[in-house]
Amino acid sequence: MPVIEKLNIVVTGGAGFIGSHLCDRLVQKGHAVTCLDNLDTGRFDNVRPLLNHPNFRFVEADVRDPLSIDGPVDRIYNLACPASPPHYQRDPIGTVKTCVLGALHVLELARATGARVLQASTSEVYGDPEIHPQPESYRGAVNTTGPRACYDEGKRCAEALFFDYRRLYGVPVKVARIFNTYGPRMLENDGRVISNFVVQALRNRPITLYGDGSQTRSFCYVADLLDGLELLMESDDAITGPINLGNPREVTVEEIARMVLRQTGSRSPITYRPLPEDDPRRRRPEIAAAARALGWAPRVALEDGLKSTIDDFAMRVATPVSPASNSAEPPAGLTAAARPARKRRAALSAVGSSA
Ligand code: NAD
Ligand code: UDP
């Protein structure tokens, strides 16, 4: 993808798992990047290596508040939102506000600056789908009153706002429906399946399989996802999405457990836990639209992506720790990642170079 010009790019949620990889990539391509994050589920360490870069700045801010950015803005990637079920269910009302007010505020920022804006939407807009695989035309089956609704309905409302801002104000919008994405830098206590299984396997702790493990997901490696996000952002204005970005290889959760055990050589036993309420039974993206509109398809095989993910976790969790800190349960209160970050809050409110 040739870089045509140096762009001023805001990445909300830029200290998180996907956002920090995106910041890395955009800075490497010569763009001026403002990472905006409240460090809820993000880690300052994810962007620390970028701080001395003249084209990078970190702004600690919350998308639930109106946003203002010094200087011009050409692109906004709106990634700010906890993505793991235990994290987004920890403060469900806060999650709705992050999805809805966050969308409103980035759209206002786009309107004020003339920027193009991309929303990180989700396969969760399809809920527990009755159609398989899921095309963009499918309108979904979300339980509006269940524990996942704060995220699912929040993201659906955000999509509605994006298209209303386009219709009413002509804001150039892009909506990506991201399917399960994994890779290096996921939090140890993130609570999602791949991070849980890898951490548990590396520590020889029991692998926590929810339900009977027959539910399916389709896992996309983070580098593939970034290719898709960038292609969508830089596509013609007429291409708005929503567009599915995900890997169509579908596996059961039990298969994932066995792959992780095999690739780590772990002695962990598998233990069965209750299936969380409203856990979707099947999920696989239909990606013909992404292929057609963007020429995009994922390239990284699950086995290879898992290897990189395992290698990354192995460096972080090599030392076995007490069972309490290896919990697969939602963390109580703040995340382990957020606690030290918040202590540093005063020092961090705006760090790095002016972009
Ligand atoms: P993540 O939790 O690692 O990153 C989210 C980032 O947003 C964190 O840095 C967090 O601190 C920040 N954040 C949360 N609330 C905020 C707020 N109110 N104001 C400012 N910053 C805030 O999650 P991720 O996996 O990197 O996901 C990034 C985005 O992609 C999310 O919007 C998520 O909904 C979407 N998505 C991810 C997946 C996936 O499988 N990873 C799938 C579908 C959609
Ligand atoms: N899951 C599991 N064990 C875990 C974490 C998750 O069996 O320790 C299951 C979960 O019930 C779901 C699937 O793995 O069926 C994917 O869960 P994740 O939270 O990663 O993503 P989502 O449900 O949002 O797709």
Query: What domains can be seen in the chain, in order of their start residue?
Result: 8-317 (3.40.50.720)
pLDDT of residue 336: 28
Average pLDDT over residues 142-158: 98
pLDDT tens-place string over residues 221-253: 999 999 999 999 999 999 999 999 999 999 999
What average pLDDT does range 302-331 have in this prediction? 69
Ligand 2 residue neighbourhood (C-beta within 6 Å): 84-85, 180, 192-193, 196, 208-210, 215, 217, 253, 275-276, 279, 328
Helix (H) or strand (E) holding 150: helix 149-169
Confidence check: pLDDT of 326 > 80: no
Q: What is the pLDDT of residue 318?
A: 67
pLDDT score recorded for residue 317? 86
Contacts for 215 with CB less than 8 Å, ≥ 6 apart: 252, 253, 275, 279, 280, 281, 282
Q: Give the Å distance between the CA of 253 and the centre of ligand 2.
A: 7
Type of residue at 192: R
338 pLDDT band (50/70/90 cuts)?
Answer: very low
Q: Is the pLDDT score of 200 beyond 70? A: yes
Look-up of token digits 């990634």: 79
What is the pLDDT, as a whole number, of residue 5? 87
**185 alpha carbon, closest ligand:** 1
Candidates 57, 65, 18, 67; CA nearest to 348 is 57
Read off the pLDDT of residues 186-196 as tens digits, 9 standing for 90 and up.
999 999 999 99
Q: What is the mean pLDDT of residues 110-125?
A: 98
User: What is the rounded CA–CA span in Å between residue 9 and residue 109?
Assistant: 12
**Ligand 2 atom with minimal separation from the 191 CA:** 5
DSSP per-residue letters across 96-125: HHHHHHHHHHHHHHHHHHT-EEEEEEEGGG
Mutate to test the pocket of ligand 2, among 87, 217, 278 (most ligand atoms within 8 A of CB): 217
What is the reported pLDDT for 348? 27
Task: Check pLDDT > 60 for residue 307.
Answer: yes
Nearest to 195, CA basis, from 340, 284, 326: 326
Element (DSSP H or E) covering residue 78: strand 75-78
The preferred substitution site among 76, 81, 101 for testing ligand 1, maximizing ligand atoms within 8 Å of CB, is 81
Interhelix angle 302-316/253-264, rounded to 10 degrees, is 60
Ligand located closest to 192 CA: 2
Kindly tell me if the per-residue pLDDT of 331 is higher than 90. Answer: no
Does pLDDT of 61 surpass 60? yes
The answer, yes or no, to whether residue 220 has pLDDT greater than 70, is yes
Residues in contact with ligand 1 by the CB-under-6-Å rule are 12-13, 15-19, 37-42, 62-64, 79-83, 98, 102, 120, 122, 178, 180-181
The pLDDT value given to residue 268: 98
Ligand closest to Cα of 210 equals 2
For residues 174-194, average pLDDT? 97
182, 256 Cβ separation under 8 angstroms = no
- Give per-residue pLDDT as tens, 91-115: 999 999 999 999 999 999 999 999 9
Burial of residue 199 (number of CB atoms within 10 Å: 0-12, 13-18, 19+): buried
Q: How far is the CA of 94 from the centre of ligand 2 (A)?
A: 22
pLDDT bracket for residue 351 (50, 70, 90): very low
**Residue 319 confidence class, pLDDT cut points 50, 70, 90:** low
Report CA-CA distances (Å) from 133 to 246, 277, 280, 306, 346: 11, 22, 13, 23, 47
Q: Mean pLDDT for the chain?
A: 90
Q: Name the closest-CA residue to atom 25, ligand 2.
A: 180
Catalytic residue IDs: 151
Q: Is the pLDDT of residue 329 over 70?
A: no
Q: How many Cα neighbours within 13 Å face the side chain of 246?
A: 28
Structure tokens at 295: 């020429």
Mean pLDDT of 63-82: 98
- Structural Rg of the chain based on CA atoms: 19
Pocket test for ligand 2, best of 193, 272, 278 (most atoms within 8 A of CB): 193
CA distances from 302 to 150, 203, 240, 305 (A): 30, 22, 29, 5
What's the CA gap between 66 and 63, in Å, rounded? Answer: 7
Percentage of the chain with pLDDT > 90?
88
> How far is residue 272's CA from residue 85's CA, in Å, rounded to a whole number?
18
User: What is the mean pLDDT of the segment spanning 271-289?
Assistant: 97
Cα 2 from Cα 238, distance rounded (Å): 20
What is the average pLDDT across 197-213? 98
- Residues of the chain with pLDDT > 70, as a percent, come to 88
Question: In this predicted structure, what is the pLDDT of residue 52?
Answer: 94
Cα–Cα distance for residue pair 127/66, rounded to 1 Å: 30
Q: Is the pLDDT of residue 349 over 80?
A: no
Q: Whose CA is nearest to atom 14 of ligand 2?
A: 193
d(CA 202, CA 11): 32
* Ligand 2 centroid, distance to 43 Cα (angstroms): 22
Strands 216-218 and 250-252: antiparallel
